[in-house]
Structure 1
Amino acid sequence: MTAQFVVAMIADERDSLPKWVTERLDAVPGLEVRYKRCTTEDQLLAIAKDADFIWTRAQNLVLTPEVLPKLSKCKAIFRSGSGMDGYPIEEAAQLGMHMCNCPESISESVAEHAVALLLDTARQVTASDRFMRGETTNRPRFNWHVTGRTLGLVGFGRIARRVVELLAGFKLKVLCYDPFASPEDMKAMGVTTTELDSLLSQADFVSLHCPLTDRTRHLIGKRELALMKPNAILVNTSRGPVIDEPALLEALRNGTIGGAALDVTDPEPPIKGGPIFDVPNLVLTPHSAAMSADFQRNFFEASIQVILDAMAGKLESHSINKHLMLNAESFIMHVTWFLSTKV
């Protein structure tokens, strides 16, 4: 039977995906899925030139602004998960292509990890463990009393909102900087909207939940770190380059801030033996915030649902650039921060 809807999976060979995923897709009437890990334009065009839908789940290697016009039948490009940095969002919109993701597949795990990093750093759990094992002679001098302090969120998407819910028992005052999130939505969750500088100067804990864009690259730099309280803790589970990492390391060495916890770094992974491993009051995890026992099942279930929705013409709820399609000039600023409502 001739396929009615063609999907090109350009990040993986068929055998590298879980068998239950490929079997589930094989069973969908009218659907053809082609699999190829594409690293060149020629490989991409070989399987996707006449595809209705392009599916990937990794860093963008081949979807350049120049190649998009050659994908004449493509209705949407879908990246499993949430991160869309490096994808040609505006250019796709100009060609009428939706750019989609499924952050719901990872938001719970990332929120839990952000909270774990905050509590670990505040209560000096990792530092105390290192001391007990004899890996350091520096016994932690104090632990933060978390209850009743001030949390600052940069970005108010799914993950940030879930962080607020998970920390509710600590009775924190919560501030948020997100220029495009709804103040009404924040107010409904007991969150106060504010400007970034004000947030940084007031917060005891700052947690980053924004996408990586030209606007947010090095959003937290030397000037911003200097605004923070001397005992403040910075948590990043978004993207490494949102922080100017050399400036952060200097701030930790100099005691400008009290500590930091990073699940993402710049570069990633960190350079072996690099300066990031020699600073005090820093907890590191290997970009593992999304990983959990249920991660794979949730990740691919959500991905399959997006494909089924695409077949049914229901892409609006997954699209991050639909506003650009309506009015590119008015929404260029909006779409980059719209991502933070989906991260």
Structure 2
Amino acid sequence: MRVGWFDHENRELEEFETFEEPLNEENCEGLDFDVISVFASSEVTDKVLQEIRPEVVVTRSTGFDHIDLNKAEELGIEVYNVPHYGSNTVAEHAFALLLSLSKKIPRAEEKTHSEFSHEGLEGFELKGKKIGIIGTGEIGQKAVKMAKGFEMEVIAYDPYEKKGLEEELGFMYVKIEDLIEKSDIISLHCPLTNENLHLLSEEEFDMMEETVVINTARGGLINPEALLTALKNDSVSYAGLDVLEMEDEMRNLGNISDKEEFCSGEYQANCELIEREDVIVTPHSAFNTKEAKERIFETSIRNIEERPEENRVV
């Protein structure tokens, strides 16, 4: 069995052919593998699948929006993901962003380099705030539990409500419109699909009033231009983002501070978001803990060798 392992990092894998770069249409020509293992930064398009024609695609992530599932199914290619590697890790990161915003940690840390004063650092408590969780899968459920630990009121939306979960975890399912209107804080924990692209856009932000928005899921769930407008008119008071639309293209730019094109054209909204004091952006690093990465590796190897049905997407 020939395995191509893309986005390779610092681990000896003598039995596989490894590539440091992600897989995409520019480097797929002539490749011949039974299995390809990729990360979320790869772009496994219909062209890539038709060129390589693997038996199996294993993504080392929970999300799979970087893989053309329709083409995979058409070609009879099995697709596997890692569904449970980082529910704690990602939910923790969501609350790290939220706490950093609520206590103004970045500004406070920077301020101590010039003066030891709390002037201008007034924050807000989480206790008693209403948090709306969008998506009640593994990560969303962890976020609910953490929110309850902070004595927050929790409401949630999921198009596929899980029977008995409300009573078990102590929250209430509501319509998405009600969640958007009533939440002090909104945290996204859902996959990106064709149906929920720009789930939060102009119409949704107009329904908010000084809301805090947290996104550790996928950048495409939020329209960045609409978020900027909402921040400027105070519909949104703060945003904590671990993901951005077009983040893969941004990664390829290298040092974005030295590139004029980053702050113009298609990247302009992202540039402005990064520069704002009421926004914290991290580089899609919510997953990046020692424990989570080990679970990703172990599950990916199992997906390659055993192809367990519970991890199969297509």
Which range, TM-score by smaller chain? 0.7 to 0.9
CA displacement, residues 290-332 of structure 1 (integer Å, 9 cap, x when unaligned): 112334323212211222322xxx3x201123xxxxxxxxxxx
Please tell me whether the aligned partners of residues 114 and 235 of structure 1 are also in contact (alpha carbons under 8 angstroms). Answer: yes
Q: Confirm whether residue 304 of structure 1 aligns to residue 301 of structure 2.
A: yes
Q: Which blocks of at least 5 consecutive residues in structure 1 are unaligned?
A: 1-5, 27-32, 322-343
Q: Distance in 1 between matches of 2:10 and 2:196?
A: 33
The RMSD of aligned alpha carbons is: 2.8
Q: Distance in 2 between matches of 1:113 and 1:165?
A: 14
Q: Confirm whether residue 290 of structure 1 aligns to residue 287 of structure 2.
A: yes
Counterpart secondary structure, 1:47: coil
Count of matched residue positions in the alignment of Structure 1 and Structure 2: 293
CA displacement, residues 31-73 of structure 1 (integer Å, 9 cap, x when unaligned): xx4445655588455322xx2x332224334x3324545666x
Q: Confirm whether residue 320 of structure 1 aligns to residue 313 of structure 2.
A: yes
- Residue in structure 2 matched with residue 60 of structure 1 by the alignment: 42
- Residue in structure 2 matched with residue 158 of structure 1 by the alignment: 138
The letter of the residue matching 1:46 is L
The letter of the residue matching 2:239 is A
Q: Which blocks of at least 5 consecutive residues in structure 2 are unaligned?
A: 258-262, 264-270
Q: Confirm whether residue 238 of structure 1 aligns to residue 217 of structure 2.
A: yes
Q: Confirm whether residue 98 of structure 1 aligns to residue 58 of structure 2.
A: no
- Residue in structure 2 matched with residue 8 of structure 1 by the alignment: 3
CA displacement, residues 247-277 of structure 1 (integer Å, 9 cap, x when unaligned): 1122212222221111112332495463224
The letter of the residue matching 1:59 is S
CA displacement, residues 228-251 of structure 1 (integer Å, 9 cap, x when unaligned): 232x21001112221111211222
- Structure number with greater Rg is 1
CA displacement, residues 203-239 of structure 1 (integer Å, 9 cap, x when unaligned): 1110011222222221111221121232x21001112
Q: Distance in 2 between matches of 1:150 and 1:213?
A: 26
After TM superposition, the score normalised by the length of structure 1 is: 0.75
Q: Distance in 1 between matches of 2:94 and 2:144?
A: 11
Q: Confirm whether residue 80 of structure 1 aligns to residue 65 of structure 2.
A: no
Q: Distance in 1 between matches of 2:87 and 2:110?
A: 30
CA displacement, residues 110-134 of structure 1 (integer Å, 9 cap, x when unaligned): 1110111112212222233344445
- Residue in structure 2 matched with residue 329 of structure 1 by the alignment: none
The letter of the residue matching 1:64 is T
Q: Distance in 2 between matches of 1:174 and 1:7?
A: 48
The letter of the residue matching 2:301 is I
The letter of the residue matching 1:250 is T
Q: How far did residue 287 of structure 1 move?
A: 1.6
| Structure 2 counterpart of 1:148, from 124, 128, 141 | 128
After TM superposition, the score normalised by the length of structure 2 is: 0.82
- Residue in structure 2 matched with residue 341 of structure 1 by the alignment: none
Q: Confirm whether residue 226 of structure 1 aligns to residue 219 of structure 2.
A: no
- Residue in structure 1 matched with residue 11 of structure 2 by the alignment: 18
- Residue in structure 1 matched with residue 92 of structure 2 by the alignment: 112
Counterpart secondary structure, 1:103: coil
Counterpart secondary structure, 1:248: helix
